[in-house]
């Protein structure tokens, strides 16, 4: 039996920049580098699930030419896949991705993969579980288990489309989802009906972490597997193929075409993202009204698409957050000139937003999730804004091909006094500068 004391021993945390300092011999170090790349590949989830079709889930060994077998899983805050190879056990930690880190108790180290999220509390939760449930982590006697369910930890539309769906799409193309019977979604955070993916026919249900941790897991029980991989692990062709699939699915919705048909007669369709929640644009109403009035003087017929909070596939909404976005939209609408029509996407689903983005000419939105639909899926020209503090942290995380950022010197950060997280830093932008800046960028991209 694997003792709780072993799990509680001091653990050294490594990342790619310290790979060469791992206490392994040269052969093991080379094997481990290849294993790290295997876990980080876009096809890791699909390959692993397809192994289950042969009734034994095997992956390469981290340290030798042998194979590792899946012997169980544990869900405690996050999910842990438990593998054994030649009598040695290791754990693959899964938070957002199918592999975020590797923990090897017998060698006292934990390795965090590139683009992964790791919090030491995740390992601590496993240690506490091991201390209280030693019998669930007993020796496997070499018996492999299969997968009983896939877990989707969408967190937000950004993480869902940049992490979760990336893995699910590639796995579906490889036939890895054909036999999965259950898909669990943490706190309803799923923004695309995964049953539209190739080969998916299982049940999709929402579950919270508490209920998930009470299910029967451990050595000898069929395992749970998180679906996720950083979009940066996908090839250009894989990412483009996924986005084409999403666009085609959205454009196949007949109701959307009829609902937004009038956009076709507009001279200018602008997507405007509302930034009202954490990292709010504090003077957005005044600046956006000023900007829209400027543009309405140049274009005969202008249509505005107001975007805000997105509902998930279960129709669950945080009433307070959605209401706050809706109020800002209403206040701006009350100030619009007569030659400007508008639609609101606050509370709409992602497919509808993808469809409407396809009818848009230009966008104004925050640089992060708010600009995802026009910027990532269609590469539209636009103006993006964000606090200077947050921008430095996320600039390389989002796909933008034709976006102009508001110059940093015109953005004034307003930190949240009750929270020191950079993603809670709000900001102000000079409204006169902003209107002129948008006007100049738009004129350089689209002729009036």
Residues 215 and 261 reside in one and the same domain: no
Residues 150 and 68 reside in one and the same domain: yes
Q: Are 377 and 357 in contact (CB under 8 A)?
A: yes
Residues 70 and 209 reside in one and the same domain: yes
Residues 178 and 229 reside in one and the same domain: yes
**pLDDT tens string 115-137:** 998 888 899 888 888 888 887 78
Q: Which two tokens stand for residue 412?
A: 């004034």
Residue 245 falls inside a structural domain: no
Residues 33 and 127 reside in one and the same domain: yes
Residue 213 falls inside a structural domain: yes
Residues 307 and 404 reside in one and the same domain: yes
Domain holding 396: CATH number?
Answer: 3.40.50.2000
Residues 152 and 269 reside in one and the same domain: no
Residues 207 and 282 reside in one and the same domain: no
State the residue range of the domain holding 350: 255-445
Residues 302 and 440 reside in one and the same domain: yes
Q: How far apart are CA 73 and CA 145, in angstroms?
A: 9
Sign of CA dihedral 366, 368, 374, 378: positive
| Category of 52 on φ-ψ map: left (φ > 0), alpha (ψ -120 to 50) or beta | alpha
Residue 422 falls inside a structural domain: yes
Last residue of a domain, one of 237, 268, 302: 237
What's the domain count of the chain?
2
Determine how β-strand 67-76 pairs with β-strand 218-219.
Answer: antiparallel
Residues 346 and 433 reside in one and the same domain: yes
pLDDT in tens, the chain (448 residues): 344 445 545 799 999 999 999 999 999 999 999 999 999 999 999 999 998 777 789 999 999 999 999 999 999 999 999 999 999 999 999 999 999 999 999 999 999 999 998 888 899 888 888 888 887 788 777 788 999 999 999 999 999 999 999 999 999 999 999 989 999 999 999 999 999 999 999 999 999 999 998 888 889 999 999 999 999 999 999 999 999 999 999 999 999 999 999 999 999 999 999 988 778 999 999 999 999 999 999 999 999 999 999 999 999 876 777 899 999 999 999 999 999 999 999 999 999 999 999 999 999 999 988 899 999 999 999 999 999 999 988 888 999 999 999 999 999 999 887 777 877 799 999 999 999 999 999 999 998 6
- The label of the residue with tokens 């021993």 reads 9
């Amino acid at each position: 039996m694997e003792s709780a004391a072993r799990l509680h021993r001091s653990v050294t945390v490594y990342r790619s920049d310290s790979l060469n300092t791992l206490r392994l011999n040269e052969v093991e170090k080379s094997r481990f580098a290849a294993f790290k790349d295997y876990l980080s590949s876009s096809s890791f989830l699909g390959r692993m699930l397809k192994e289950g079709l042969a009734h034994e889930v095997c992956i390469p060994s981290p340290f030798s030419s042998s194979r590792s077998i899946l012997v169980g899983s544990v869900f405690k805050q996050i999910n842990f896949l438990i593998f054994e190879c030649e009598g040695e056990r290791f754990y693959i930690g899964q938070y957002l991705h199918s592999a975020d880190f590797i923990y090897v108790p017998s060698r006292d180290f934990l390795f965090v993969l590139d683009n992964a999220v790791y919090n030491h509390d995740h390992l601590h939760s496993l240690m506490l579980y091991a201390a209280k449930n030693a019998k669930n982590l007993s020796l496997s006697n070499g018996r492999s288990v299969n997968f009983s369910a896939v877990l989707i930890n969408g967190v937000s539309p950004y993480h869902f489309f940049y992490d979760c769906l990336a893995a699910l799409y590639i796995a579906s193309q490889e036939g890895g989802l054909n036999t999965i019977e259950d898909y669990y979604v943490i706190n309803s955070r799923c923004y695309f009906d995964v049953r539209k993916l190739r080969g998916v026919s299982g049940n999709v249900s929402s579950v919270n972490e508490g209920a998930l941790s009470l299910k029967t897991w451990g050595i000898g029980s069929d395992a749970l597997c998180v679906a996720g991989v950083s979009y940066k692990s996908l090839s250009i062709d894989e990412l483009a193929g996924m986005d084409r699939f999403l666009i085609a699915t959205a454009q196949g919705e007949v109701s959307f075409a009829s609902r937004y048909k009038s956009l076709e007669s507009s001279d200018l369709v602008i997507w405007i993202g509302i930034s009202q929640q954490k990292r709010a644009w504090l003077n957005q109403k005044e600046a956006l009204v000023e900007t829209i009035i400027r543009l309405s003087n140049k274009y005969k017929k202008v249509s505005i698409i107001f975007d805000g909070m997105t509902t998930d596939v279960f129709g669950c909404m945080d009433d307070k957050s959605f209401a706050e976005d809706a109020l800002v939209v209403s206040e701006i609408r009350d100030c619009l000139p007569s030659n400007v029509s508008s639609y609101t996407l606050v509370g709409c689903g992602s497919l509808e937003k993808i469809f409407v983005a396809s009818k848009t000419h230009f966008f104004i939105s925050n640089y992060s999730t708010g600009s995802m639909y026009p910027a990532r899926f269609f590469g539209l020209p636009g103006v993006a804004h964000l606090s200077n503090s947050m921008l430095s942290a996320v600039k390389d995380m989002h796909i933008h091909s034709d976006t102009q950022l508001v110059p940093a010197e015109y953005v004034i950060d307003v930190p949240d006094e009750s929270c020191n997280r950079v993603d809670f830093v709000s900001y102000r932008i000079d409204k006169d500068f902003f209107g002129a800046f948008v006007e100049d960028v738009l004129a350089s991209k689209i002729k009036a």
